[in-house]
Amino acid sequence: MTKTASVVVCVVGLILWLSAPLVPQEGGDDFSGEEFIFMEDAEGLTVVGTQETTQEMKTLTKEDIDRIQAPDLATLLQETLNLGITRYGAYGNAADINIRGFDTERIAILINGVPANSPLSGDFEISQIDLNAIERIEVIYGGSDSKYNVSGALGGVINIITVNQQKPGLRLGASLSNTSALPGTYAKRNGSTGTPQWQDLADSQKAALSAAYGGETYSFSANMFTNRAANHFLYTDYMNKVRRKENNEVWDLGGSAAFIWNFPDLSKLIFSGSGYYGDKNIPTSGYAESYGKQGDFSTRQNIMLDMPRAFRDDLATEASVNHTWETLSYEPPAGASSLHTLHSVTGINRWTWYSCSWLTLKAGGDYRFITLDSTDMNRRDQHDGGLYLTGELKPVKTLLIIPSIKGVFNSNGSSPAVAIPKLGLAWFVTEDLTLRNNYFRSFKHPDFEDLYWPDQGDTAGNPDLKPEDGWGADLGLAYRYTILSLNSTVFTQYTTDSIHWAPGADRVWRPSNVGAAVFFGLDSTISADIPVSWGPFNKFIPSLTYQGMWSYLLSYGYDFADKKRIPYMPVHTFGFMLDLSWKTGGLLISGYVEGTRYTDRTNITTLDPHFLLNVHVTQRISDTWTLFGEIRNLLNSSYESFSNYPMPGLTVTLGIKMQFDGLGQTGAPQELTE
């Protein structure tokens, strides 16, 4: 086929589906990963579908996750990617992830590509995720996502992938760890001095089991975990007295399973599911003795049909149906208890058409039905979803253009439907230098609590809320020179009609569309991959991350001249990592520095800067057994992530992992392609 004929085929192909055999490259095995797709003609093979993107995106592999051995997702993301985390205490307490100035409610959390944020509050329960079951985590920064095209992603997207084609044979695994808090003398509530509580050396325990099998026709995996966290630790209060945290015990357990059935022509049927239960004591702020009781229960079931060759060689599709059942019960220290039960059914269908060597079209849609049964908000239903169309154009080898538009709808709220356009550009200047540029609209509908929370005297919802809206842009570069890598992005985002809860003239807290803000920021990461031969050491990888973010609150009568910052948004955040590995293990030292944060919109009260230093060590002692250990907050810093909610000082985790690989090996599994 000549070049002229190729162009003609592409143009005609916008209307007619012309045949063009596709040959996937052998290689990747991740369920949610994109493969290289090739179109064959008389002149050879031409790449038409790749992992190239215009967005700033970072990926954590299973190896990264296993080395950190974090207690939960928030800790993992902070210690590896230096994302901002606002927490209300130790394990099991609420935690907000922050990306470019937006909290978890405004970040789209996906599990295997399916939205997982709670329709009740927009939040996501960090503890639900078993880190041992995760195969990969993708983090897309900003509102430019055109890969998954989900709604509500003002700050970014976090996709947690738990399904993976398993290696041949049967594997069994287990791990057990203990976390010790630092005992010491402390001031009791009655004014006396408490002696060291040596049981704090066994403060928290975690156990996990796993099994997996890979074969030619099918593969499966299963994981279970349980945690017992007393969350007793010493901290220094505002009067400079050493206290011991109490009434914050957590016990939880969970499990997940996945089954992949491979069909001819690379198609597959994927069944996956998970369950979680948590029993938690939730203390009030400060040193108060009172606490509430919270019970969390959730299950997720998903079935997906993945067809890299759907009826034609140049067409691919995936279709999934997901059901989620969530129950949240809460017994406050005083007052009536509450119970909220959510059921949601989500359907997603995505199509990809490799029309020619310079044009790929992606289209799809999602629909979700939600029903809420709440002691506070009664029975509520909602329908939402949307349709999108995305083009990936490569008119020349060095230029990638991705225009995208999605129309979203919601049966509740004052704006039932809206269009969300995006445009991404990437210029591959050289093999080592890439420039990326994105422009996007960001949009989020109100949650059930925002709309329907009943008037209880001191709090009330607002059924007249408008969706949060905004526009943003970023410009980034990725550069690699021999062993050095640099990724840097400048970004800006303007949001309006942001929903905030605040007391009115009647002293009743209610949400309103008063929030308007502008963010200007810089994300930069520089790292080096250095081969070494220092005794047993074979690789040294140092890295440094910096985020500068200047936020301006433009609500409540403020303008740029007032220089009012968004609460809990530091201007400067630094992170570093020193990764030293040897044949049978590795040493990882990570640090995180967060600048001064304001705790209120008037910018009067502050939280001081803090520095966290962590050390992780792994050592394989045989083909089956691996020892690991972590020291978190090595300098025993006393700090608060959220005002009046102290965080643990120095803790030590010691654990052991067991893994039996390749039992009953029967042959290589079929490669997965997407």
**Residues in Cβ contact with 95 at an 8 Å cutoff, skipping those fewer than 6 apart:** 72, 74, 85, 86, 87, 88, 104, 126
pLDDT tens readout for residues 335-385: 789 999 999 999 999 999 999 989 999 999 999 999 999 999 999 999 999
How far apart are the C-alpha atoms of 453 and 375, rounded to whole Å?
10
0.85 surpassed by pTM: yes
Gyration radius of the chain's alpha carbons: 25
- Amino acid 258: pLDDT: 95
Residue 23: pLDDT over 50: no
Averaged pLDDT score across all residues of the chain = 87
**Run of H or E residues at 418:** strand 417-428
Does some domain include residue 615? Answer: yes
Domain of residue 645, CATH code: 2.40.170.20
- Amino acid 42: pLDDT: 36
Can you list the positions of beta strands (E) in 55-129? 57-61, 84-87, 95-98, 107-111, 114-115
Does some domain include residue 420? Answer: yes
Domain that residue 622 falls in: 6-663
pLDDT tens readout for residues 181-203: 999 999 998 889 999 999 999 99
- pLDDT bracket for residue 127 (50, 70, 90): confident
- pLDDT bracket for residue 51 (50, 70, 90): low
Strand duo 378-396 + 606-607: pairing? unpaired
Does some domain include residue 560? Answer: yes
Q: At 260, which amino acid appears?
A: I
Does some domain include residue 192? Answer: yes
How far apart are the C-alpha atoms of 285 and 264, rounded to whole Å?
58
Does some domain include residue 262? Answer: yes
Q: Per DSSP, what are the bridge partners of residue 170?
A: 213, 663
- Amino acid 425: pLDDT: 97
To the nearest 10°, the Cα dihedral for 635, 640, 641, 642? 180
Does some domain include residue 546? Answer: yes
**Residues in Cβ contact with 466 at an 8 Å cutoff, skipping those fewer than 6 apart:** 413, 414, 415, 446, 497, 513
Q: Which of 401, 300, 388, 394 lies closest to 355, judged by CA?
A: 394
Does some domain include residue 668? Answer: no
Can you list the positions of beta strands (E) in 67-151? 84-87, 95-98, 107-111, 114-115, 136-141
Residue 27: pLDDT over 70: no
Can you list the positions of beta strands (E) in 122-203? 136-141, 156-161, 169-181, 186-187, 193-194
Place of tokens 């040193």: 287
- Amino acid 26: pLDDT: 32
- Amino acid 505: pLDDT: 76
- Amino acid 405: pLDDT: 96
Q: Total domain count for the chain?
A: 1
Residue 558: pLDDT over 80: yes
Q: Which residue has the higher pLDDT, 32 or 608?
A: 608
How far apart are the C-alpha atoms of 105 and 93, rounded to whole Å?
16
Does some domain include residue 673? Answer: no
Q: Per DSSP, what are the bridge partners of residue 403?
A: 423
SS3 content of the chain, % helix, strand, coil (to 5): 10, 60, 35
